[in-house]
Every structure is written in structure tokens, then in C-alpha cells.
Amino acid sequence: MKPHVFVDRPLAPEVEQSLAAHCTLDIWTDGDTIPRDELHRRLSNAEGFLTAGRRIDAALLEAAPKLRAVSTISVGYNHFDIDAMKRFGVIGTHTPYVLDETVADLTFALMLGAARRVAELDHYVREGKWKRGDGEQLFGVDVHHAVLGIIGMGRIGEAVAKRARFGFDMTVQYYNRSRKPDAEQRYEATYAELDELLATSDFVVMLAPLTEETKDMIGREQFAKMKASAIYINVSRGATVDEDALIDALENGVIRGAGLDVYKQEPIDGSHPLLRFPNVLALPHIGSATTKTRIDMAKAAANNLIAALNGETPPYLVPEFRS
């Protein structure tokens, strides 16, 4: 008998077909996020769950006694309560690699957009404020030849470093818990302790995963160490930064600006104080959101789930579940 799988969003037809060849499928197609009670009901007989970002906690696992694997269509898996999953004998998989270049492109879009004030000046033109030349009030700062500090030089960090070094002649420095000599050589990058990176970078890009260790990693103390001309970019997860501290830093000119794809609360409320600042470029968590990459991610997530339910080791088992 085929294992039963619940999917909490519609997928590309070819991905649904490939899953349907191996599993019986129940797919939530309502458009809105599935309410918690309904999710628990749908999971009551599921052996597999395909999602993107849904919190997997003890309450959900209790409601899903047959569940064996959760496959997320994302590389980040901070929504997995790993301890609870292990307790309930449920494994987790994710989708690294397929999105690296796409997320790196978006990181650069934020860097360029914040540096050259792209969204702000688009509004300026549309609002009919462009009456004369291009006075100093429209000037930005250069990305090329600037110093880039990457916090979290992993798969995506390296794709950003490649663009920075070879496309924009930037000087690349990074901070990780462990050094990566290969990456240092490939991108002529240097390792810096966090405080040094903060003090010497023109762009500080956060790309470390959200963990207990990185929660609120960038706060008042860290903004105070940055250059007043620095631009802070967050493409990782909103909770890696203390948003109140970021607001204060923007309000008091402690840094020049910010480019954000992620927030503590998503979707961010339109009246959120962070959105008051013209020098904040704000995107709706679209790092991996191109049609091709999202389909590739869904394919990878489906393959992970099929393998897990067949009793095989999935291609991208979350590291904490590797024995």
C-alpha cells in the first residue's frame, strides 16, 4: 500500500505527479494557510508531510501518530523542533544547494538597491518629484570595490562572495564558527572575528541560519560597532537581528541603511516602524522566489519525502538527523 502524504500547498503539476506515483496524496489548495486544527485533522493518518515553514512541534506530532517524515521546501529548518521530532521518531529533510545562486542574486539586489536607493528613487520619479538634474540628494554609495562582511559563509554565502569578488571587485571577509580555507582561497576572502567584521565592512550581510546561538545575534552593541556608512542586509531569518535595535540604529544614524528580506513576524505588518524609513529596502521573503528555483526546490522536497517513506536515506536529510 502506498504511504499517505499531506501537502499544505499546491505544487507544480510535475511534482504532484511524481509524488502521486509513490504516495496517496492530500493537498491543501485553499490559498490561505491551513488552520491549525484542520492541519492536525489532515495529518491524523499521514505518514509524510510536505510543507514550507510550518512549525513542527510536539502538539503537531501528537496529532500525527503515523508521521515518519517531514519534508520542507526550504533550506532553513528553524521551524523544526528537532528534539520533539526525534522523540516522536520523525525525520526532517530540506532543500539545500538548488537555491544558492537565486538567493545570492537577491542578496545582491538588496545590496545594490539599498546602496543606490533604487526603490526610494523609483517612488521619487513616480511621484513626479524629478524636476531637475540629479542633485546630491539623490546620491548613493558604491557597491563595487567596497568591503563586504558575510556572517555565515555557507552555501549561499559563498555564492554571494563569488559575485562580490569577481563581479564587483569587492574585498570579502567573513565570520563563521569555523574557518573555510577553500573558500578563503577561492574568493580571496579573509576570516574576521565578528567585532572586526562589523567595524570594517561597508556591507554586513547576515546569512547564518537561525539557531539558539544566532537569535538576536545583531543587536545594539553590534550596530554600534558598525561604520556609520554601513548597510546591513538580512537574508537569513528575521530573528537573527533585534529589530528594536535596528530601528534605533536607523533612527539615530548609527548605520546608513538596511536591506531586508526577512522579519521576526512574517508577513510584516504594513504599519511596522521598520517600514517608515526610506533607507530601508524591504522585500517579502522572496530570496528563493523564482519560478524555476521554486519548482526545483519542490522537486527536491518531493524526492526527499519519497526516499524517506521508502525507508531509504533521503538525499537531503537535515544534519541533526544524520547518525
CB of 262 to ligand NAP, least distance (A): 5
Judged by CB under 6 A, the residue of 207, 301, 305, 318 near ligand NAP is: 207
Binding ligand NAP by CB under 6 A: which of 99, 164, 172, 230?
A: 99
Q: Give the interface size with ligand NAP as a residue count (CB under 6 A).
A: 31
What count of residues does the chain have? 323
Return the bridge partners of 317, or none. 93
Confirm if 202 and 227 have CB atoms less than 8 A apart.
yes
Reference 106, options 290, 316, 302; nearest CA is: 290
By CB atoms closer than 10 A (0-12, 13-18, 19+), residue 20 is: middle
Among 172, 208, 218, 301, binds ligand NAP (CB under 6 A): 208
158 catalytic per annotation: no
Interface residue with ligand NAP among 72, 173, 214, 304 (CB under 6 A) is 214
User: Cβ closer to ligand NAP: 106 or 309?
Assistant: 106
Q: Pick out residues in 30-59 that bind ligand NAP (CB under 6 A).
A: none
Q: Does 237 bind ligand NAP (CB under 6 A)?
A: yes
* Strand-pair category, 24-27 with 231-234: unpaired
Report the site for ligand NAP in 260-279 (rule: CB under 6 A): 261-262
Which stretch in 1-9, 207-215, 221-229, 306-314 sits in contact with ligand NAP by CB under 6 A?
Answer: 207-215
Q: Is residue 103 near ligand NAP by the rule CB under 6 A?
A: yes
* Distance in Å, CB of 232 to ligand NAP, minimum: 15
| Active-site residue, 42 included | no
Task: Give the footprint of ligand NAP on residues 174-193 (CB under 6 A).
Answer: 175-178
Residue that has been written with the C-alpha cell 554600534 in this structure: 224
Near ligand NAP by CB under 6 A: residue from 48, 113, 149, 154: 154
Supply φ then ψ for residue 201, to 5 degrees.
-95, 145
Q: Does 235 bind ligand NAP (CB under 6 A)?
A: yes
**Catalytic: 14?**
no
- Tell me the C-alpha distance between 67 and 73, whole Å: 17
Q: Which of 51, 72, 173, 288 binds ligand NAP (CB under 6 A)?
A: 288
**Cα separation of 192 and 54, whole Å?**
35
DSSP 179-207: --HHHHHHTT-EE--HHHHHHH-SEEEE-
Among 90, 287, 296, 300, binds ligand NAP (CB under 6 A): 287
Which stretches within the chain are classed as H helix?
13-20, 36-43, 58-62, 82-87, 100-115, 118-126, 155-162, 168, 181-186, 194-200, 220-225, 243-251, 291-309
Catalytic-labelled residue, pool 54, 237, 256, 294: 237
Q: On the CB side of 91, how many CA atoms lie within 13 Å of its CA?
A: 22
Active-site annotation, residues? 237, 266, 285
Instruction: Give the binding site for ligand NAP (CB under 6 A).
Output: 75-76, 96, 99, 103, 151-157, 175-178, 207-211, 213-214, 235-237, 261-262, 285, 287-288
